Structure 1
Amino acid sequence: MKLLLDTHIFLWLIDDDERLSVKFRQEIRNPKNQRFLSVVSIWECVIKYQWGKISFPHSPEIYLPEQRREHLIKSLVVDENSIAQLINLPSLHGDPFDRLLISQALQYDLIMITEDRAILAYPTIKSLGSE
């Protein structure tokens, strides 16, 4: 499977947070699966860091890419096709970061790993249940 980690899932993974379900943890660690983290998630984390909403042991521009590589997660860039895909999304959710992640998941046929109900409300999004 090709998996796209939502921002909070990546943060839970690198923090070894108990909120990350066993099923999600297993799928992320499964060597048969390809794992992706969008640069959109890195951008979101940097903004939240600047606003004092989250902290990291090192500066985010160093720490987050290190963690992504350590967990064997590929970087997913934002391209024009992903931006263009936004026009086809229904207005179910106003968060621009999430909307772009949804667009990338649809563009590249990725399965989202998320607990975000607003993302899961999109009927065309492929996702894994966390149970």
Structure 2
Amino acid sequence: MKLILDTHILLWWWDDSPKLPQAARDLIADLDNQVFVSAVSITEIAVKKSIGRLEVDDDFAHGIEDDGFIELPLTAAHGGRLAQLPFIHRDPFDRMLIVQAQAEDAALVTVDDKVRQYDVKTLP
């Protein structure tokens, strides 16, 4: 199964946070799944780090490869889909992750209830 991790899920995975639902933890750890981390999430983490809203190591992005995740770039095709996405959720990073999951026929691993209101497969 193709999975795209929402940014909070990625951070909780890296922190081994108890906030990460066990079902999500199991999906991520399942070697039969392809786990993607979007460039959108890396950008969101970097922006939040730069304005002091998040503390992460400077080399945090290396964790993608270290964990065996696959980097997913944001393409023009992904960006073009944003124009058709209903404006239920105002967070631009989440909106970009939603269109990526739709375009890539992947499940978005998230606990964000606003994301779940879209026509996108979500887990857990």
Question: Residues 1-131 of structure 1 correspond to what in structure 2 (within 5 A)?
Answer: 1-56=1-56, 58-59=57-58, 62-64=59-61, 66-122=62-118, 124-129=119-124
The count of corresponding residues between Structure 1 and Structure 2 is 124
In the TM superposition, residue 117 of structure 1 has moved relative to its aligned partner by 0.9
In the TM superposition, residue 121 of structure 1 has moved relative to its aligned partner by 1.1
In the TM superposition, residue 44 of structure 1 has moved relative to its aligned partner by 0.4
Amino acid at match of 1:44: E
- Taking every aligned residue pair, what percent have the same amino acid on both sides? 36
Amino acid at match of 1:27: L
After superposition, what is the alpha-carbon deviation per residue over 1:17-47, rounded to whole angstroms, capped at 9, x for unaligned? 0000111001001000000010000000001
5+ residue gaps, structure 1, are none
Scaled by the length of structure 1, what TM-score is found? Answer: 0.92
After superposition, what is the alpha-carbon deviation per residue over 1:40-99, rounded to whole angstroms, capped at 9, x for unaligned? 00000001001111112x31xx222x1111111100001110011111211111111111
- Separation (CA, whole Å) in 2 of partners of 1:93 and 1:84: 17
CA RMSD of aligned residues (A): 0.8
- Separation (CA, whole Å) in 1 of partners of 2:7 and 2:21: 15
